[in-house]
């Protein structure tokens, strides 16, 4: 059984490794120093605008597909910075911001999320995710403009990550078509005990799943109401079915693999009264596992528990299990991850965790199957226990320290984009690594929603007039 090294021993080993590193030849630069300086200066010059955007999203939390204010703030900021903004999708709160330079060249994408959670607001820090995407896209676009680099920067604004599968819908509608690579980053924190410092500034695992796949679904039981005192035998208790199914699933957990997760809640109480046999109950559940195929098989087992509960109580059952609620596991691209981690270590002295995984899930996992991608996590200061999806993390995601951490990540991702657009050999390595991954997963990819071919797409596209403006009076350069 492995044990952790004492802190003093670990410190001595780290010092020895650092000393030996001084004997090695310097690592190759990610990009030319002048390109890096352009990216950094551009992002720093727009920081006032970026901080205002960050707070505007954070202080006006909106649920998935309802992100009207966040969408407006993002479109306004991107337009002000000089991007062309359109919405080639059926989702009103989606958008695509684009900047192109020269002829030909590759297309590098950034993904913004901006939906919040019920009751706790931006407890997953999507305000920071959106800010990073805007900052990185802007920094890279300015580098293309100033250094005459051919290529395209595209920022995709995807609604409803916390539930709804906005990216799956946009993948099916072809909004991500044409991307050669795409990146985003996610905040995390609250795991470090008081008085300790985090060992890692973030995580970016490669070589296998970096997160769990997820399948969300709803179950509805329909019974028959009756007077609970005068004639309970005339009722069919939908709440009993929900409780029995809930209990059966809890017993199923004993036989699940350690990497699997099942969790859910019972809904419908707004229709209940203690003196009436409940005629309706609903459960909202998710299953998680290492792959989509394993997740769907686990979902099947869970649904058998609910079907048995319906049979036992005499209720009828309806199941809603949408493809858009099936999120693939994250599969970070090796060359992209290596280059990003090396840059963050070299420039910001950040240590990025490269092993292990998170047991959370995201619809960006589906994107990893569609094109080369990375989804690094980054640490923000948060009190112990104030992890993602808690009110404490909501407060932490608003802090200036969290914004500063996000800006560093944005600079790293922007420089990564510059390397991808200017380094042909690197871009080829990225593509080959992704193609190798797709060959290895083989037919498992068939279970991943969002990978329909362009010819099979039938979803409506609502093109809006390009929005473009140039206002350079706030201290930043307009594209």
pLDDT of residue 410: 98
- Position 248 scores a pLDDT of 98
pLDDT in tens, 53-105: 999 999 999 999 999 999 999 999 999 999 999 999 999 999 999 999 999 89
pLDDT for residue 471 is more than 90: no
Give pLDDT, residue 263.
98
pLDDT (tens digit, 9 = 90+) per residue, 24-44?
555 567 899 999 999 999 999
The pLDDT value given to residue 232: 97
CA distances in angstroms from 220 to 112, 223, 296, listed in the order given? 33, 10, 19
pLDDT of residue 476: 80
User: Is residue 468 pLDDT above 50, yes or no?
Assistant: no
pLDDT bucket at 139, cuts 50 / 70 / 90: very high
What pLDDT is stored for residue 478 in this prediction? 86
Q: How confident is the model at residue 195 (pLDDT cuts 50, 70, 90)?
A: confident
**Residue 465 binned pLDDT confidence (cut-offs 50, 70, 90):** very low
pLDDT for 19 equals 63
Task: Evaluate if residue 449 carries a pLDDT over 70.
Answer: yes
- Residue 469's pLDDT band (cuts 50, 70, 90): very low
Structure confidence at residue 453 (pLDDT): 59
Token pair in block for residue 255: 């036989």
Least confident range of 54-63, 286-295, 450-459: 450-459
Q: What is the pLDDT of residue 448?
A: 97
Least confident of 15-19, 128-132, 146-150, 357-361: 15-19
What does the pLDDT average to over 146-169?
98
Give me 313's structure tokens. Answer: 């109580």
Helix (H) or strand (E) segment spanning residue 319: strand 316-320
**Per-residue tokens: 268:** 């419908």
How large is the average pLDDT for residues 403-408? 98
* Reduced 3-state DSSP string for 123-136: CCCHHHHHHHHHHH
Q: Would you tell me how many other CB atoms lie within 10 Å of the CB of residue 319?
A: 12
Helices 47-58 and 126-147: crossing angle in degrees, nearest 10, is 150
Query: What pLDDT, in 10s, does the model give residues 221-277?
Result: 999 999 999 999 999 999 999 999 999 999 999 999 999 999 999 999 988 999 999
**Predicted confidence (pLDDT) at residue 14 exceeds the cutoff of 80:** no
pLDDT at 460: 42
Decide if pLDDT at 477 tops 70.
Answer: yes
pLDDT of residue 479: 85
pLDDT higher than 70, residue 439:
yes
Residues 128-140 have a mean pLDDT of 98
Rounded CA gap, 210 and 341, in Å?
Answer: 15
- C-beta atoms surrounding 28 within 10 Å: 9
Question: Which pTM was predicted?
Answer: 0.91
In this structure, are residues 53 and 154 in contact, taking their beta carbons and an 8 Å threshold? Answer: no
Single out the residue of 274, 232, 95, 125 nearest to residue 185, CA to CA. 125
Given the DSSP bridges, would you call strands 213-222 and 316-320 parallel, antiparallel or unpaired? antiparallel
| Contact partners, residue 52, CB within 8 Å, separation at least 6 | none
pLDDT of residue 457: 47
pLDDT at site 434: 98
> Across all residues in the chain, what is the average pLDDT?
92
**Whether pLDDT at 464 is above 70:** no
pLDDT surpassing 80 at residue 3: no
Sorted by sequence, the CB contacts under 8 Å of residue 117 that are 6+ apart come out as: 61, 63, 123, 124, 162, 389
Residue 114 has pLDDT above 50, yes or no: yes
What are the tokens at 468?
A: 């473009």
Q: What are the tens digits of pLDDT across the range 207-236? A: 999 999 999 999 999 999 999 999 999 999
Distance of CA 81 to the CA centre of its chain: 24
Q: How far apart are CA 250 and CA 262, in angstroms?
A: 8
The answer to whether the beta carbons of residues 58 and 121 sit under 8 Å apart is yes
């Amino acid at each position: 059984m492995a044990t952790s090294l004492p802190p003093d021993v670990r410190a001595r080993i780290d010092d020895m490794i650092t000393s030996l590193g001084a004997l090695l030849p310097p690592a190759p630069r990610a990009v030319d120093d002048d390109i890096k300086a352009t990216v950094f200066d551009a992002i720093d010059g727009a920081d006032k605008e970026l901080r205002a955007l960050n707070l505007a999203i954070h202080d006006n939390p909106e649920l998935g597909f309802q992100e009207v204010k966040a969408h407006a703030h993002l479109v306004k900021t991107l337009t002000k910075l000089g991007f062309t903004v359109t919405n080639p999708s059926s989702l009103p709160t989606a958008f695509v911001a684009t900047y192109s330079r020269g002829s030909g060249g590759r297309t590098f994408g950034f993904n913004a999320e901006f939906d919040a959670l019920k009751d706790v607001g931006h407890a997953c820090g999507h305000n920071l995710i959106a800010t990073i995407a805007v900052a990185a896209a802007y920094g890279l676009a300015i580098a293309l403009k100033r250094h005459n680099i051919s290529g395209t920067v595209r920022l995709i604004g995807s609604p409803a990550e916390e539930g709804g599968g906005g990216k799956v819908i946009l993948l099916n509608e072809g909004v991500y078509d044409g991307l050669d690579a795409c990146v985003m980053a996610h905040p995390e924190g609250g795991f470090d005990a008081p008085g300790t410092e985090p060992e890692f500034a973030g995580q970016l695992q490669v070589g296998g799943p970096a997160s769990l796949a997820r399948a969300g679904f709803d179950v509805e039981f329909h019974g028959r109401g009756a007077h609970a005192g005068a004639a309970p035998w005339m009722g069919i208790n939908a709440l009993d079915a929900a409780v029995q199914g809930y209990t059966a699933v809890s017993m199923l957990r004993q036989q699940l693999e350690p990497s699997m997760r099942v969790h859910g809640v019972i809904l419908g109480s707004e229709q209940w009264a203690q003196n009436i046999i409940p005629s309706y109950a609903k459960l909202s559940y998710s299953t998680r596992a290492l792959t989509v195929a394993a997740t769907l098989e686990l979902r099947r087992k869970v649904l058998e528990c609910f079907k048995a509960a319906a049979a036992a109580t005499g209720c009828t059952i309806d199941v809603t299990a949408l493809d858009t609620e099936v999120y693939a596991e994250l599969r970070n691209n090796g060359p992209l991850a290596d280059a990003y981690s090396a840059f963050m270590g070299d420039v910001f002295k950040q240590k990025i965790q490269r092993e292990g995984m998170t047991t959370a899930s995201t619809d960006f996992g589906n994107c990893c199957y569609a094109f080369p991608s990375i989804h690094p996590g980054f640490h923000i200061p948060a009190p112990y226990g104030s992890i993602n999806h808690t009110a404490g993390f909501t407060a932490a995601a608003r802090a200036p320290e969290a914004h500063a951490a996000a800006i560093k990540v944005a600079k790293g991702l922007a420089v990564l984009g510059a390397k991808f657009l200017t380094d042909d050999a690197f871009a080829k390595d990225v593509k080959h690594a992704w193609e190798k991954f797709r060959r290895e997963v083989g037919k498992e990819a068939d279970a991943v929603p969002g990978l329909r071919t362009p010819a099979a797409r039938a979803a409506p596209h609502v093109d809006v007039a390009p929005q473009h403006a140039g206002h350079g009076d706030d201290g930043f350069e307009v594209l």
